[in-house]
Amino acid sequence: MIVGIDEVGRGAWAGPLVVGAVLLGGASIEGLTDSKALTRKQREVLDLQIRQRALGVGLGWVSAKQIDQIGLSPALKLAARRAVAHLRHSYEEIIIDGTIPLLEDARVTLMKKADLLVPSVSAASIVAKVARDNYMRHLDTVFPGYTFKRHVGYGTALHRQAIGNLGASPVHRLSFSPLHKYQETLKKSTGKITSRLLGDSGEDEAARYLSANGHEILARNWRTKYCEIDIVSRHRQKLYFTEVKYRKNARFGSGIAAVTPAKLKQMAFAAEMFLHTHKVTNTDVRLAVADVEGEEPHLTAFVELD
């Protein structure tokens, strides 16, 4: 009952930091190793097996904006806490790849090269990398020109050239020294860019979650005169119509509880309207709700509705 923990995206110039936490719970999965030693195809196959067979999988995300606000070291610890919070089973030990104590827990062991030596840590490195890479491919469509899908936010020559041509985007880490000079420029334009491209922060967090879990985002804020849908996505031949419920805190209860029978009928009607408008037939359709909360929005639950 060992929880493995590993991070992805620490040195990237753009995009979130992601920490994976995996409790294999005795599951034996062939091929587990450091995610960097695997091809994209191998990682995606293993990611699916891990999610299906592990006793627990958690991902902790910290956005570029919050990294700039609190610093990289606190962001790593915050992401680790968020990842472990998703685990619902008891465990005996936590093994963290590297030498930085990301968690204050007597059960923690730090180990260099743990992603090569400990299966649960290998699994954590794989699920974190697949999730982050999927999200960076989504950002490539939101911010065309930065080629995020190729370098996933790291400071490659291609990325540096794009920044030189376009400047920094709202998902760049301006606290990193190569990007300091863009801070004032971005402050003047951030509001316009984020309102046009990212939309509501809660919806962006939900879209990030869906992208990281293999969904292809087809539409956001799709609306007609009669109805609207927050997010439309495709996953494994199924169409998902997701309502995003965002709250700054949980004082007034779960956002999922706000999906009343009347709201469910509205969602079903909107889904039917989307299918009719796009002439989609013979498709497995799912209604879902994403519950997002916090000053720095994070997803607390994603539930498919009956």
CB–CB of 35/8 below 8 Å?
yes
pLDDT tens-digit map of 160-204: 999 999 999 989 999 998 898 888 766 555 444 443 333 356 787
Give the least confident one: 131-135, 144-148, 207-211: 207-211
Mean pLDDT of the chain: 87
Q: Where are the domains of the chain?
A: 2-129, 145-197, 201-305
What number of H helices and E strands is found in the chain? 10, 10
- CB atoms inside a 10 Å sphere around CB 108: 16
For residue 138, the surrounding DSSP H or E stretch is: helix 119-142
For residue 73, the surrounding DSSP H or E stretch is: helix 72-84
Three-class SS state of 66: helix
- Provide the pLDDT for residue 148: 95
DSSP-derived letter for residue 38 is: S
278: tokens are 């796009």
Whether the pLDDT of residue 97 is over 50: the answer is: yes
pLDDT above 70 as % of the chain: 90
- CB atoms inside a 10 Å sphere around CB 276: 10
Q: Is 27 exposed, middle or buried (0-12, 13-18, 19+ CB in 10 A)?
A: middle
Q: Is 265 exposed, middle or buried (0-12, 13-18, 19+ CB in 10 A)?
A: exposed
Using 50, 70 and 90 to split pLDDT, how confident is the model at 13?
very high
CATH 3.40.1350.10 describes domain 201-305: yes
Question: What is the torsion angle, in degrees rounded to the nearest 10, for the CA atoms of residue 144, residue 150, residue 152 and residue 157?
Answer: -90
* Coarse DSSP helix, strand, coil percentages of the chain, rounded to the nearest 5 percent: 45, 25, 30
Read off the pLDDT of each residue in 138-155 and give the average, rounded to a whole number.
92
- CB atoms inside a 10 Å sphere around CB 112: 10
Read off the pLDDT of each residue in 222-249 and give the average, rounded to a whole number.
86
Chain mean position to CA 233: 15
Beta partners for residue 96, in sequence order: 5, 110
Using 50, 70 and 90 to split pLDDT, how confident is the model at 217?
confident
CATH class assigned to 2-129: alpha beta
Q: Can you spell out the DSSP letters for 174-209?
A: TTSGGGGGGHHHHHHHHHHHIIIII-SHHHHHHHHH
